[in-house]
Amino acid sequence: MPRTGLPSGSGTWLDPDIPVTGGGPGYGAVVESLRDLLDGFAAASPDEETVRALADAFAAWSKRLERHRVGERQQVFGRRRDLHGRGQVMAPKFAAEESDERSVKGTVTFGRYFLGGNGAVHGGAIPLLFDEVMGRLSNTAGRSQSRTAFLHTDFRSVTPVGVPLSVRAWFESEEGRKRFIRAEIRDGDTLCAESHGLFLALLPGQP
């Protein structure tokens, strides 16, 4: 395990070679339910009774989960690389469909939780998705762990909420520690957003 506490990069995207089984076989379904909950909550205008019931249920679950609290290295959330979106809900779920050592293609649907306004995805959620996809690509295929040095995003047209979109990321070049990666999100033939970033392989001891 590297000093970052994150699993070191190896394996291809679709075939990670580090099995992470925390949470058991039902964990992925719970993450999906949590995504549905966030989308449902964002889309709802609940009455007071429903709000009270939600507050009680959330408080009860927070208390129960407190008993299972672990340190960063034992955390399951965001580490299940066998699951789409690696089992986290901070970013929308990217489902990889094709990958090799230098690229990945897949789909994403930004749920209602990621709405900015007027049917468009929030402008912060798009670089978040890019960082997720490009950052993970940067660490695949036996490469060492890296961190984002810069990430530039151009918003070319509105990115719609609730629509399956295609996502592609690929290595532009690798120069020593520097990994230059590009990515784009498309709605059919329409380019919604594109990004390029520099990911730097970490030196020994870098957090």
Binding site for ligand MFK (CB under 6 A): 6-7, 81, 86, 131-132, 135-136, 147-150, 178, 198, 200, 202-203, 206
Q: Which is nearer to ligand MFK, 109 or 148 (CB)?
A: 148
CB-wise, 54 or 202, nearer to ligand MFK? 202
Alpha helices (H) in 10-165, listed in sequence order: 27-43, 48-66, 125-138
Q: How far apart are CB 61 and ligand MFK at their closest, in Å?
A: 25
Number of Cβ atoms within 10 Å of the Cβ of 113 = 19
Shortest separation between residue 205's beta carbon and ligand MFK, angstroms: 10
What's the closest the beta carbon of residue 203 comes to ligand MFK, in angstroms?
Answer: 5
Q: CB of 120: closest distance to ligand MFK in angstroms?
A: 24
Asked if 13 and 102 touch (Cβ cutoff 8 Å), the reply is: no
Nearer to ligand MFK, 128 or 158 (CB): 128
- Kindly tell me which of 161 and 181 has the beta carbon lying closer to ligand MFK: 181
